[in-house]
Structure 1
Amino acid sequence: MELAIYNISGQETGKKALLNDAVFGIEPNDHAIYLDVKQYLANQRQGTHKSKQRNEVAGSTKKLKKQKGTGGARAGSIKSPLFPGGGRVFGPVPRDYSFKLNKKLKQLARRSALSYKAKNEGIKVVENFSIETPKTKTFLAMAKSLNLEGKKMLLVLPESDHNVILSTRNLQNVKVVVAQNVNTYDVMNAGTVLMAEGSVNVINEMLA
C-alpha cells in the first residue's frame, strides 16, 4: 500500500510512503484489539481504592445491650456494618489490576488497529519536520493546512522531539508518541493517525 506524502503546508511532495501490507493490510482481529485495549486500560488503574472494615473503624467494642429480653436483634458492637458509621462489608481493598498478554497477540492487535485505520483512510503521512520554537500556534497552522484542525489526532514521530511535544501539550485532541511506542488503544482512540515519514519505516520493521 502506498500513501502520498504531504509537506507541512498541506501540499503533496510527489513522494510516496510504502506501508507494508503485513502490517497495514491484514484482516483485523477484533478480539485481539479488545484484549490489548482492556490490558492498557487496566494498567492505567492505580488500584488504591480502600474502605474500612469493621476491625478498622473507630468506635467502642462494648456490647450495646443485653443479649436477650429486649425483643430486638442481637447487637455486639457499634462498629457492625448494620449501624451508621460501621465498617463496610466486602469493601474495596488495594489491588493490582494489571495482567499479562503474549507478545505475538499484542503485535497482532497493533497490526489490526493500523489495518483498520488504513482501510478507512485514517492514516496520513507528512514529511519529517521540526519546530524551531515551541508554539501551539505553529502546530495548529500545520494541522489546518493538513485539514486536521480540531480532529482527534495521534502524531507518530520517528524519535522524540521536545519542541513538538511542547507545542502540542495544551491540545486535548492531539497525542504525540514515538513510533516504537505506538499502542493499540492510541491508534483506535484517534480519528486520524498522522505519521512522520521516518516513522513509517520504524513501524514496518517493528511489526512486520
Structure 2
Amino acid sequence: MELQVTTLDGQSAGSVTLKDDVFGLEVRQDILHRMVRYQQLKAMSGTHQVKHRSDVALTGRKFVKQKGSGGARHGDRKAPQFRGGGRAFGPETRSHAIDLPKKVRALALKHALSAKAKAGELVIVDTVSTAAPKTAALRGQFGKLEWANALIIDGAELDTNFALAARNIPQIDVLPVQGINVVDILRRQKLVLTKAALEALEARFA
C-alpha cells in the first residue's frame, strides 16, 4: 500500500510504501474488542472498598435479650440491617486486570493500524516540530489539514515545542511511538504517524 507523505504546511513530501502485514490486514473486531477490554480493565484502580461487618468499630455485645423483647433475636449492632452496621456483599480492593497473550496484544495493534489505513484515516507526515510553543499557530495548521480529532505519533523523542503547543488543543493527543496503543488509536478519528514513527513500528513488527 502506497501513501502520500505531507508536511504540517500541507505540502507534499513524497510517498511511502506500507507493509501489508502491518497495515493491510483484514480487520477483526473481536481481537480489537479483547484488547480494548484488556486495556480498560488494567487501567481501573480497583481501590473501591467498604467496611464489612468485621471492620465496623461497634461492640459485639448482645444488646437485646434472646427472648421476651417482643422483637427479633439479634446478636450485635454490626449486622448490615442496623444503621452504622457493616455493608453486606460490598466491593473490596482488588485488581480488575485480565490476562491477554503478548502475541494477541501485538496482533491487536496491527489490526488497529490496518483499520485506520482501510478507512482512509491514516496520515503520514514528514516530521512534527515547531519553532516556538504557540498553540494558536498550531491550531491554525491543524485546521488547514482538517485534523480536528487526531492522535499524533512521533518517534522515540517528542519535539518539546510541538508537544507543549498541542497539549492545549481539544481532541488532539501526542504520543511517542513507544506509547502507541489500541484504545488511543480507536478513540481518535485520524491517526497521524511521522516517518520516524512509521519506521519504528515496521521495525518492531519485523
TM value normalised by structure 1: 0.92
Cα contact 2:139–2:169 (8 A) shared by 1 = no
Cα contact 2:153–2:177 (8 A) shared by 1 = yes
Cα contact 2:22–2:110 (8 A) shared by 1 = yes
One-letter amino acid of the structure 2 residue matched with residue 115 of structure 1: S
Q: Distance in 2 between matches of 1:138 and 1:18?
A: 31
Query: Where does 1:135-174 land on structure 2 (aligned, <5 Å)?
Result: 135-148=134-147, 151-161=148-158, 162-174=160-172
One-letter amino acid of the structure 2 residue matched with residue 33 of structure 1: L
Residue among 163, 173, 176 paired with 1:175: 173
Cα contact 2:152–2:192 (8 A) shared by 1 = yes
One-letter amino acid of the structure 2 residue matched with residue 175 of structure 1: D
Which residue pairs with 1:21 in the alignment? 20
Q: Distance in 2 between matches of 1:68 and 1:129?
A: 81
1:135 shift after superposition: 2.0
Which residue pairs with 1:185 in the alignment? 183
**1:13-54 Cα shifts (integer Å, max 9, x gaps):** 3x0022111111111122221111111111211111110011
Which structure carries more relative contact order (alpha carbon 8 Å, separation 6+)?
Answer: 1
Cα contact 1:180–1:206 (8 A) shared by 2 = no
Which residue pairs with 1:197 in the alignment? 195
Instruction: Report sequence identity in percent.
Output: 33
Which residue pairs with 2:126 in the alignment? 127
Q: Distance in 1 between matches of 2:126 and 2:194?
A: 6
**1:118-142 Cα shifts (integer Å, max 9, x gaps):** 1111111111131222221232122
Q: Distance in 2 between matches of 1:126 and 1:18?
A: 13
Which residue pairs with 2:45 in the alignment? 46
Q: Distance in 2 between matches of 1:9 and 1:137?
A: 15
Give the paired residue count. 205
Cα contact 1:63–1:76 (8 A) shared by 2 = yes
Q: Distance in 1 between matches of 2:162 and 2:98?
A: 33
Cα contact 2:124–2:192 (8 A) shared by 1 = yes
Cα contact 2:128–2:154 (8 A) shared by 1 = no
Q: Distance in 1 between matches of 2:161 and 2:187?
A: 24
One-letter amino acid of the structure 2 residue matched with residue 155 of structure 1: I
TM value normalised by structure 2: 0.93
Detail structure 1 runs of 4+ shifted over 4 Å in the superposition: none
One-letter amino acid of the structure 1 residue matched with residue 109 of structure 2: R
1:60 shift after superposition: 2.8
**1:138-166 Cα shifts (integer Å, max 9, x gaps):** 32122112111xx2210010122222221
